[in-house]
Amino acid sequence: MDWVWEICKDYVLKHLRRLGDNDPSQEMQQQAFIEIMSEATVTVLVQEPWHNSVRFKGLAKYDASTMMPLLSDPENFLLEHFGGGKFKLNFHQGLNFMATKNFKPEAEPRWKDLPDIGY
Establish if 119 belongs to a structural domain.
no
Instruction: Provide the 3-class DSSP secondary structure of residue 3.
Output: helix
Establish if 117 belongs to a structural domain.
no
Summarize pLDDT for 68-101 with one digit per residue, the tens.
Answer: 999 999 999 999 999 999 999 999 999 999 999 9
Q: How many domains does the chain have?
A: 1
Spatial contact of 61 and 43, defined as CB atoms under 8 Å apart: yes
Establish if 108 belongs to a structural domain.
no
pLDDT of 118 reads: 80
State if pTM tops 0.75: yes
Domain that holds residue 15: 2-103
Rounded to an integer, the average pLDDT of 52-62 is 95
pLDDT of 50 reads: 84
Summarize pLDDT for 1-20 with one digit per residue, the tens.
Answer: 799 999 999 999 999 999 99
Establish if 109 belongs to a structural domain.
no
Spatial contact of 12 and 33, defined as CB atoms under 8 Å apart: yes
Neighbours of 66 (CB within 10 A): 12
Establish if 97 belongs to a structural domain.
yes
Instruction: Provide the 3-class DSSP secondary structure of residue 114.
Output: coil
